[in-house]
Amino acid sequence: MNHFISMKQLSSETIIQLLDSATNLQESNFTISKQLFAANLFFETSTRTKMSFTVAEKKLGMEVLDFHAEASSMNKGESLYDTVKTFEAIGANVAIIRHEADNWMTELASNIAVPIINAGSGQAEHPTQCMLDLLTIYQEFGCIKGIKVVIVGDIKHSRVAKSNAIALEKLGAIVYLCAAPGYEDETLQYPYITIDEAVEICDVLMLLRIQHERHTNKHDTAGYLEAFGLTKQREKQMKDHAIILHPAPVNRGVEIDKDIVEYDRSRIFKQMANGVYMRMAILIHVLTEWGIIDDTIITER
Ligand code: CP
């Protein structure tokens, strides 16, 4: 049985099934008629991912085990591994984990007997964010194949860029990257274009925040918007149907002009809303794969 760790492990068929399932969950209220506990184990800060998992779990009728690393026994030296084993022992049925290390799951994957969902691993992957981004594109265009997506910003330090590049290519999208010098990533083999080229050709402009927390030296952002970001002038060059995505948090006035965040073509808050239903679909998917639930106990309210 698989943990939900990387977009590399999902087939295009499974991804499309999950997108359809999330849309279905958006249209009808489903709940699980069995007591289940979800452990939200966030060792890095989060607003959207943690809270949308909480809403998703509650909508499905699950009990939410909240956790605050700073107030936990990790302060007494307990490891990540023993913390997750503890939640398994006390009855968690699924663990949702975010951690600053790229490979935090290596030790856990073969030794934890409940499904683990990756809610962000260092600068490596953020598969549930990727899934909600795909859902937003899919709902907009009715397909992913052939859509031109430009991922723009601090590609090197972004787990969202990595997950999306993998999944978008798998689904037949045409992927381009755009980054300021030093923010390119040599592991991703896609053409780099300038921001002025990006706005003209894209169907989807996927903007990224500068990931200051993963930099060794502090980078000055003065002049970044004008040189590399989405200004009002550049936004005017976008095709009528083109949309703007951003995983958020947004640094208004740095990677994007502060007003554009709420322009008609921005789907940034739609992404957040989609996150709830996408995470419901992912929870149902892993709980079903692990034999913890089946169709008979998912009922419409
Ligand atoms: N997009 C995202 O992961 O946001 P949070 O860090 O607030 O969870």
- pLDDT per residue over 160-176, tens digit each? 999 999 999 999 999 99
State in Å: Cα 295 to ligand 1 middle: 31
Give 7-126+272-300's CATH code, choosing from 3.50.50.60, 3.40.50.2020, 3.40.50.1370, 3.10.580.10: 3.40.50.1370
Q: Say yes or no: CB of residue 129 within 6 Å of ligand 1.
A: yes
pLDDT for 217 equals 80
Residue 1 predicted with pLDDT over 80: no
- Other CB atoms within 10 A of residue 82 CB: 12
Q: Is the dihedral of CA 201, 18, 127, 61 positive or negative?
A: positive
Tell me the one-letter amino acid at 125.
Answer: E
**φ, ψ dihedrals at 65, nearest 5°:** -95, 105
Q: Is 301 helix (H, G, I), strand (E, B) or coil?
A: coil
Using alpha carbons only, what angle is made at residue 296 by residues 291 and 301, rounded to the nearest 5 degrees? 120
| Residue 207 host element (H or E) | strand 204-207
| Dist. CA 113–CA 72, nearest whole Å | 22
Q: Is 174 helix (H, G, I), strand (E, B) or coil?
A: strand
Question: In the beta sheet, which residues pair with residue 98?
Answer: 42
At the topology level of CATH, where does 127-271 sit? Rossmann fold (3.40.50)
Question: What's the mean pLDDT in 26-37?
Answer: 95
Q: Whose CA is nearest to atom 1 of ligand 1?
A: 247
State in Å: Cα 47 to ligand 1 middle: 6
Q: Say yes or no: CB of residue 46 within 6 Å of ligand 1.
A: yes
State in Å: Cα 140 to ligand 1 middle: 22
Categorize the per-residue pLDDT at 68 as very low, low, confident or very high, splitting at 50, 70 and 90: very high
Residues in Cβ contact with 106 at an 8 Å cutoff, skipping those fewer than 6 apart: none
Categorize the per-residue pLDDT at 143 as very low, low, confident or very high, splitting at 50, 70 and 90: very high
Using alpha carbons only, what angle is made at residue 181 by residues 180 and 183, rounded to the nearest 5 degrees? 70
Domain boundaries of the chain, sorted by first residue = 7-126+272-300, 127-271
For the chain, give the mean pLDDT.
Answer: 96
Q: Helices 127-141 & 159-170, crossing angle to 10 degrees?
A: 50
Tell me if domain 7-126+272-300 and domain 127-271 are identical in fold.
yes
| Dist. CA 116–CA 99, nearest whole Å | 13
Mean pLDDT is lowest, of 111-120, 213-222, 230-239, for: 213-222
| Dist. CA 274–CA 251, nearest whole Å | 21
| Dist. CA 132–CA 271, nearest whole Å | 6
Chain CA centroid to CA 205, Å: 16
The token pair at 162 is 């990595």
- Other CB atoms within 10 A of residue 161 CB: 30
Burial 257-283 (b: 16+ CB within 10 A, else e): beebbebeebbbebbbebbbbbbbbbb
Q: Say yes or no: CB of residue 48 within 6 Å of ligand 1.
A: yes
The token pair at 242 is 């083109």
| Dist. CA 239–CA 178, nearest whole Å | 18
Categorize the per-residue pLDDT at 66 as very low, low, confident or very high, splitting at 50, 70 and 90: confident
Q: First vs last Cα of the chain: how many Å apart?
A: 29
Categorize the per-residue pLDDT at 209 as very low, low, confident or very high, splitting at 50, 70 and 90: very high
pLDDT for 22 equals 98
The token pair at 85 is 């084993």
Could you please report the per-residue DSSP string of 36-103? -EEEEEESS--SHHHHHHHHHHHHTT-EEE---GGGSGGGGT--HHHHHHHHHHTT-SEEEEEESSTT
Categorize the per-residue pLDDT at 216 as very low, low, confident or very high, splitting at 50, 70 and 90: confident
Q: Say yes or no: CB of residue 275 within 6 Å of ligand 1.
A: no
Q: Whose CA is nearest to atom 6 of ligand 1?
A: 46
Token look-up 């990540």 returns 80
Residue 49 predicted with pLDDT over 80: yes
State in Å: Cα 132 to ligand 1 middle: 12
State in Å: Cα 171 to ligand 1 middle: 24
pLDDT for 117 equals 98
Q: What is the pLDDT of residues 180-203, one digit of tens each?
A: 999 999 999 999 999 999 999 999
Categorize the per-residue pLDDT at 290 as very low, low, confident or very high, splitting at 50, 70 and 90: very high
Percentage of residues of the chain with pLDDT beyond 70: 100
Q: Say yes or no: CB of residue 213 within 6 Å of ligand 1.
A: no
Q: Say yes or no: CB of residue 2 within 6 Å of ligand 1.
A: no
State in Å: Cα 249 to ligand 1 middle: 6
pTM for this structure?
Answer: 0.97
Residue 236 predicted with pLDDT over 80: yes
